[in-house]
Amino acid sequence: MKLRADNLTLTAGERVLCRDLSFEIAPGELWGVLGCNGSGKTTLLHGLAGLAPYSGAILLGDRPLPDYSRRELGCRLGILLQREDQDFWGSVRDYVMLGRYPHAQSWLGWGADDEAAGERALAAFDLAALADRAYASLSGGERQRARLAQLWAQSPPLMLLDEPLQHLDLRHQLQTLEHLRAATRQGGAGAAVVLHDLTFARRCDRILLLYGDGRHASGEAAELLQPALLAELYGCRIDACGDGENAHFIPVI
């Protein structure tokens, strides 16, 4: 299932964050969304999920986004928000299983498929040993892994992730990127992920640059992740070393 934006315009107060943006997240594609703070990355993901106002059109499959019920949308599209303002009373397993609500067949309890999906998600993010712990007792990085596991339990064919690597240690950053690559390249999902690490962005298939003043650019990762283009985007010199997916980008003061 694809997600397509046609002539999308997003604003914040009087500011136009992006103007007439058209792009498509196709099955099997991993998109990286890059830009400075305040450039509209979070607003874009919220708009694509139907959580923020926009002008233009957003289509999920062949249907406009507003035509879906919330439950239908939850079976097809999942979003990892950057912030979580409310705490949770239950266990880590209870928290992860919230991702199964769009698929639930009965209010009486979870089915075998739901429980299996939850256990797979717990294992994928190294949470099986913490499953019975209170969610509120987790560290920041452990909570982030639980939030990712909840999205994986939801199993949507399209995923929007706002800074999924925040709070994670290096091993779990790499693990999360590998799960994203497997979900897209092997599982056929489509995904867009907001990133600040340009080296990790090189592992994406396609890139969307947001300048925060209405301008934007999109294309293949190898085409857009170039020092000159990145320097214009971030307002500082950026050097590159290495080639392909092993390229590293270093900001220079």
The pLDDT value recorded for residue 68 is 96
Residue 91 belongs to some domain of the structure: no
pLDDT digits (tens, 9 = 90+) for 43-89: 999 999 999 999 999 999 999 999 999 999 999 999 999 987 678 99
Region class of 40: left (phi > 0), else alpha (psi between -120 and 50), else beta? left
Cβ atoms of residues 205 and 184 within 8 Å: yes
Domain count, the chain: 1
Cβ atoms of residues 190 and 159 within 8 Å: yes
Structural domain boundaries, residue 49: 3-85+156-252
Residue 130 belongs to some domain of the structure: no
Mean pLDDT of the chain: 95
Residue 161 belongs to some domain of the structure: yes
The C-alpha atoms of residue 99 and residue 104 are separated, in whole angstroms, by 10
Span 36-47, average pLDDT: 97
- 211-242 in b/e form (b: 16+ CB < 10 A) is bbebbbebeebeebbeeebbeebbeeebebee
Residue 54 belongs to some domain of the structure: yes
The pLDDT value recorded for residue 179 is 97
- Compute CA distances 104 → 32, 77, 93, 107, 120, whole Å: 31, 16, 16, 7, 17
Residue 166 belongs to some domain of the structure: yes
Q: Could you tell me the CATH number of the domain that includes residue 73? A: 3.40.50.300
The pLDDT value recorded for residue 244 is 75
Span 162-176, average pLDDT: 97
The C-alpha atoms of residue 29 and residue 157 are separated, in whole angstroms, by 11
Closest among 98, 72, 11 to 46, alpha carbons compared: 11
Per-residue pLDDT band for 206 (boundaries 50, 70, 90) equals very high
Residue 103 belongs to some domain of the structure: no
162: its two tokens: 């706002």
The pLDDT value recorded for residue 211 is 97
Residue 147 belongs to some domain of the structure: no
Span 213-221, average pLDDT: 97
What residues contact residue 252 under an 8 Å CB cut-off, 6+ apart?
A: 236, 237, 238, 239
pLDDT digits (tens, 9 = 90+) for 220-244: 999 999 999 999 999 999 999 887 7
The pLDDT value recorded for residue 35 is 98
Per-residue pLDDT band for 253 (boundaries 50, 70, 90) equals confident
Please report how many Cα atoms fall inside a 13 Å half-sphere around the Cα of residue 117, on the Cβ side. 21
Please list the residues that pair with 25 across neighbouring strands: 3
Helices (H), 22-99: 41-48, 70-76, 92-97
Residue with tokens 């090189």: 202
Residue 118 belongs to some domain of the structure: no
pLDDT digits (tens, 9 = 90+) for 80-136: 999 876 789 999 999 999 999 999 887 767 899 999 999 999 999 999 999 999 999
pLDDT digits (tens, 9 = 90+) for 147-161: 999 999 999 999 999
User: Quick count: other Cβ atoms within 10 Å of Cβ 46?
Assistant: 20
The C-alpha atoms of residue 31 and residue 156 are separated, in whole angstroms, by 16
